[in-house]
Structure 1
Amino acid sequence: MRSTVHLQPSLFDSVDTLDDFNHVGGDGIRLGPFDGMRRMVLGDGAWLDVLPGWLRGADRLFDLLAAGVPWRAERREMYERMVEVPRLLASYPEGVEPPHPVVGEAREALSAHYAEELGEPFRTLGLCYYRDGRDSVAWHGDRIGRGNREDTMVAILSVGEPRALLLRPRYGGGAVVRQPVGHGDLVVMGGSCQRTWEHAIPKTARPVGPRISIQFRPRGVA
């Protein structure tokens, strides 16, 4: 049985002073502007955009998603045996209503912001629920479908306790990039990132609260 570490609210995620943020709904959950986004050039045509605190009211959204999303546990075959996937999952295919209005607003805002570079809108949503430090995702690239042969983008909006997102060159020879994500942070992996780099959320032995990642992808990228 898992012991529970509760989400520690962010001191910078207050919904009381939000004049610079776009209001979505009546629950104080709002998107900010793209001001302050910085791009990290990774190499081999890959890049990472980082925008801390893009979403205000992120802890409130975490609570709503944790309670309201139809989470599922999965088992997958690895090393000739079936194992539990160490996180809970949810999918919202194209045409399915997002789990909260601000998630749909975020998809529209991302599609507009990256329209020139991406050339198409973000279409699908995938959610992962990391309940504690034992939940993780192994090194991988989103190379099922178009991401295996062409440049694309995957955007990730994180709510809940920060966890370390790690990135490394797929074929070795470079340093590992470590980027904490949580409490409304946005990261966007673009260019050749899915083909030439890998990313992971590693397990951690230290007590850590839960986190939910919301992934936005174009059509045909998984």
Structure 2
Amino acid sequence: MEKETSGLFDNSPQWIDIADGRLLWVEHFLPQAEADEIQSVLTRELAWQQESITLFGKRVIQPRLQAWYGDQSYTYSGLTMAPTPWTPTLNTLRQQCELAAHSSFNSVLANLYRDGQDSMGWHQDNEPELGHQPVIASLSFGETRRFVLKHLHSKEKFELLLGHGSLLVMAGPTQHYWQHCVPKTAKPREPRINLTFRYIYP
């Protein structure tokens, strides 16, 4: 059963302790006008590609476009992404997220969800190169999409609506105990860009 989050989060930036995890939720991290401009720049400037990964022993095309920027390569599900140098826009956003999350980031995975059929399946960001308790800062631009967290053992769920200019930081042991996803929807949806900043250990 999914837990109602209206009493758990509010508009003020604060860390929230959940069972086996820690979250920072800032619904209006960036002003709308600034978020509008950033979305336009990211759509034009990033080197979007549709990649394939290995899932249950089979190569499948991911239902979204991606781009990888930063200082280190990243490997997951049989896909190795070589880094493209930081753009000025991404570097500025990285610095803003570092201040909010009290963490350093050296890479960012950009995802472009073209419509409601583009999605992200259940997964954990727990690859060894992310370290013991990775901090993942997630910035969203464009269409609001559902983001669901599910505890691996209790099956407890939290659902957030990630909107234009919002910031969600997952920290502590969150990636070891919780999966997360962005589900498909049959409803018409405009494009959404999501940036997930992280630190990759060499």
TM range (shorter): 0.7 to 0.9
In 1, Cα distance between equivalents of 2:201 and 2:147: 23
Structure 2 residue aligned with 1:26: none
Structure 2 residues not aligned, in runs of 5+: 1-10, 73-83
The 5 Å alignment of 1:113-128 reads 113-115=100-102, 118=103, 121-128=104-111
Structure 1 residue aligned with 2:47: 70
Given the alignment of the two structures, is residue 105 of structure 1 paired with residue 82 of structure 2, yes or no? no
In 1, Cα distance between equivalents of 2:155 and 2:54: 30
In 2, Cα distance between equivalents of 1:73 and 1:220: 25
Deviations 1:186-209 (A, max 9, x none): 000000011111110010111111
1:100 Cα offset (Å) = 4.0
Do 1:65 and 1:99's aligned partners in 2 also have CA atoms closer than 8 Å? no
Structure 1 residue aligned with 2:30: 55
1:174–1:78 Cα change, 3 Å: closer
Read off the aligned partner of 1:37 and give its amino acid letter. P
In 2, Cα distance between equivalents of 1:199 and 1:150: 18
State percent identity of aligned pairs. Answer: 29
Structure 1 residue aligned with 2:112: 129
Which SS does the other structure have where 1:212 is aligned? strand
Which SS does the other structure have where 1:40 is aligned? strand
Given the alignment of the two structures, is residue 37 of structure 1 paired with residue 13 of structure 2, yes or no? yes
1:55 Cα offset (Å) = 1.5
Given the alignment of the two structures, is residue 138 of structure 1 paired with residue 114 of structure 2, yes or no? no
Task: Please give the TM-score of this superposition, normalised by the length of structure 2.
Answer: 0.80
Structure 2 residue aligned with 1:185: 166
1:62 Cα offset (Å) = 1.2
In 1, Cα distance between equivalents of 2:135 and 2:146: 20
Q: Find the partner of 1:158 among 124, 140, 151.
A: 140
Which SS does the other structure have where 2:168 is aligned? strand
Read off the aligned partner of 1:43 and give its amino acid letter. A
Give the length in aligned residue pairs. 179
1:37–1:142 Cα change, 3 Å: same
RMSD (Å) for aligned C-alpha atoms: 2.1
- Deviation beyond 6 Å, 4+ runs, structure 1: none
Read off the aligned partner of 2:50 and give its amino acid letter. A
Q: Find the partner of 2:189 among 164, 183, 208.
A: 208
Deviations 1:110-165 (A, max 9, x none): 323444xx4xx111111000001111111111111244x62120000000111011
Do 2:70 and 2:86's aligned partners in 1 also have CA atoms closer than 8 Å? no
Structure 1 residues not aligned, in runs of 5+: 1-34
Which SS does the other structure have where 2:38 is aligned? helix
Larger Rg computed on CA atoms: 1
In 1, Cα distance between equivalents of 2:92 and 2:44: 20
Deviations 1:45-89 (A, max 9, x none): x11110012122212211221122110111223344332100100
Do 1:47 and 1:193's aligned partners in 2 also have CA atoms closer than 8 Å? yes
Which SS does the other structure have where 2:169 is aligned? strand
In 2, Cα distance between equivalents of 1:61 and 1:161: 14
Task: Please give the TM-score of this superposition, normalised by the length of structure 1.
Answer: 0.74
